[in-house]
Structure 1
Amino acid sequence: MKDTWTTIARLATRLEEHSALPREQRILLQLLKIQEEAGEVAEAVIGAMGQNPRKGHSHTWDEVEAEICDVIVTGMVALMRMNPEAPDVFAQHVERIRERDLGESARISSR
């Protein structure tokens, strides 16, 4: 996962260097990008199910998966652009979810 976060950091840096907008606007636009990518997931699902009469079966489930990955990467980039400690923030959040939803903690078992 560390290599993933290295790539995410590089993408975030590239985007930061590309824009002259104030920081708040850059973050806002990155957050809106998540919604744009989520819309592409919806379009791909509709296409994979053939539910657009004009387009028919225009997408595959592999394309849906790729669009979901785009949403995840875009969200990770947004988090990195908001907080350079994004890997730790994310890991702590996943731990809270694990404790809340699975009743598990990060404690190492003594078995």
Structure 2
Amino acid sequence: MSSPHQGAEPAHDATVVAARVAASLAQANGAGLDQQSMLVLKVCEEAGEAAAAWIGVRGQNPRKGVTHTHDDVAGELADVALAALVAIAGIGLDPGRVLDDCVAKVTKRLIDRPDALIHPPA
């Protein structure tokens, strides 16, 4: 099966970019608990923007109607993912390792109980 991006330049490694962004922010703002808190709050802010975009896709604001596309939502969700990786790096952890651990955990669930995600235990 071919990738829709086949032949295109490879995407930047998000975990490397996240670590560089976190280091740059730490240099500008310090790396203490206040800055770490701001990084976590940034994830929440980006999640709110994704929610707002989804509301726009669904046209749930009668005054505004449909204001966003699925591509807009996907872009906002990508912002959430990158902000989360930056926050992970900003609290002193390796975002690649943390992401790999998360994927391994979910993969194990799929292997151990393939129906668990479809039919969670009561």
> Shorter-normalised TM-score: what interval?
0.7 to 0.9
CA distance in 1, matches of 2:55, 2:89: 31
Does the alignment pair 1:58 with 2:67? yes
Amino acid at match of 1:81: G
For 2:96 and 2:76, the matched residues in 1 are separated by 22
- In structure 2, the residue matched to 1:4 is 14
Alignment partner of 1:14 is 2:17: no
1:32 has 2:3 as partner: no
Q: How many residues align structurally? A: 103
Where has structure 1 moved over 3 Å in runs of 4 or more?
A: none
The percentage of counterpart residues that share the same residue type is: 34
Query: Does residue 44 of structure 1 match 2:49?
Result: no
Unaligned runs of 5+ in 2: 1-10, 114-122
Mark the runs of 5 or more structure 1 residues left unpaired by the alignment.
105-111
AA aligned opposite 1:12: A
TM-score by length of 2: 0.75
Q: How far 1:85 sits from its partner (Å)?
A: 2.3
CA-based RMSD of the aligned residues comes to 2.0
Aligned partner of 2:77 among 50, 68, 73: 68
More helix by share: 1
Distance 1:77 1:70 in 2: 10
Secondary structure of the residue aligned to 2:109 is helix
Partners of 2:40 and 2:61 lie apart in 1 by 28
